[in-house]
Amino acid sequence: MSENLDNATKIRELAVRHNKLFRDSIPLIASENLMSPLAMEMLLTDFGFRYAEGLPHKRYYQGNEVVDELEELVIELAKKLFNVPQSDPRPISGTVANMGVIYGLTSPGDLISVPSLSGGGHISAAQFGAVGFRGLVTENYPFDPQTMTIDPDGAAKLIKEKKPKVALFGQSVFLFPAPLKELADAFSEAKCKVWYDAAHVIGLIAGGRFQDPLHEGAHVMSGSTHKTLPGPQHGLVLGNTDEETWKSIQRGIFPGTISNHHLNTMAALGVSLAEHMEFGRKYASDIIENAQTMAQELHNLGIKVLAESRGFTQSHTLVANTKTEGGGKRVAETLERCGIILNKNMLPEDDSRKSQNPSGIRIGTQEVTRIGMGKSEMKEIASLIYRSIVKNEDPAVIKKEAKALKDMFTEVKYCFGKLKAYEYIKVFQER
């Protein structure tokens, strides 16, 4: 066997190992999910090998007749699902969608108001992220660590005084709706554009279970499409704004931040949007119910889940302070050995220099909900977490129990057709 063939074989073996890792583990990462079999099939089509620069019927390449029909259909599906007049499914990720909005709405030197990283903000809105690379100046909203939300009074004062070009809302730790309605007067006085990064909660919004930003004062909404919206790793921008602003955003997307826009994942996104119209309301409700159930059970077991006064969460995410249990790094690594996959996470009290060793953990319930788990399983998972990080039981014992629980949930739900979870492509199945 040649060295190159040997390396190719090793890569295939790594794919098989990775599938097995997640097939046997309980997945609680708040930014991941599973696609349906029909959506997954789109990734294997010839769409994945082609280019389609520009907009439908205004391409720079030939051979886009079918692609134009596809893209127009995906655009209309997104507009219908979110009840908005504008959509652009070309961004290839959530951060690229954000960059398109940044390029469309701002110029270097402009001021933009953003959530702080310690308040759950996303790195693309930080000075070392996309807004910094655009040369923007940032102001952080005041954040209330007790309620785990932006302080509306403080935010209104900031917006009125600083008059940002754009007011951005949206977080990686997004437990509760942003105070858009409360800030309407401030937006009007500042004459700013309002941008909502819905990456984490876009599926909950589409399911009618979080808030409706584009009908609560936001002009544009961006997001990734593989979290609470269970589609491919792709991006989406939606608008409810004037035509001039929308055209500027579209120019920010192309040619601002992308060339070709990954047609196979756009096709998979279209399937996911259609399925979410059918199943999204029930799915969103079940996700939130599961998150609240797990949060309450962890709290009952003595683990410090944040925002107790507000019922812990109104989204798919919950956050716990695990300083008493050794901190976020130790807890996340311990749980990984136990077959429970989640991530360490900074809390409002943490110094930004502690990002690799923060006080907390973040949990998401969208993927376990997607495979059919309900409230009783959330309580069982909470018990496994407690036994792992508080009782310090043998990881091998916990891992065996976690796998036994997971083995009971093998199909992807809330979609057209059935698929054995984590058995994605035939070439990756054991021969």
In this predicted structure, what is the pLDDT of residue 422?
67
* Strands of the 166-169 sheet, one edge to the other: 86-88, 230-239, 220-226, 193-197, 166-169, 111-114, 137-140
* Topology of the domain comprising 280-428: Aspartate Aminotransferase, domain 1 (3.90.1150)
Q: Are 122 and 170 a contacting pair, CB within 8 Å?
A: yes
Count of other CB atoms within 10 angstroms of residue 140: 18
| Residues of the chain below pLDDT 50 | 426-431
Half-sphere CA count of 156, side-chain side, radius 13 A: 12
In this predicted structure, what is the pLDDT of residue 164?
98
* DSSP code at position 24: S
In this predicted structure, what is the pLDDT of residue 419?
74
In this predicted structure, what is the pLDDT of residue 428?
43
In this predicted structure, what is the pLDDT of residue 429?
45
> 3-state DSSP call for residue 58?
strand
In CATH, what is the architecture of 40-275? Answer: 3-Layer(aba) Sandwich (3.40)
The two three-digit tokens of residue 198, written as one number: 């819905």
The two three-digit tokens of residue 183, written as one number: 């800030």
> 3-state DSSP call for residue 128?
coil
pLDDT in tens, 254-313: 999 999 999 999 999 999 999 999 999 999 999 999 999 999 999 999 999 999 999 999
Task: Indicate if the alpha-carbon torsion angle 183, 196, 252, 102 is positive or negative.
Answer: positive
| Ranges of each domain in the chain | 40-275, 280-428
> 3-state DSSP call for residue 170?
coil
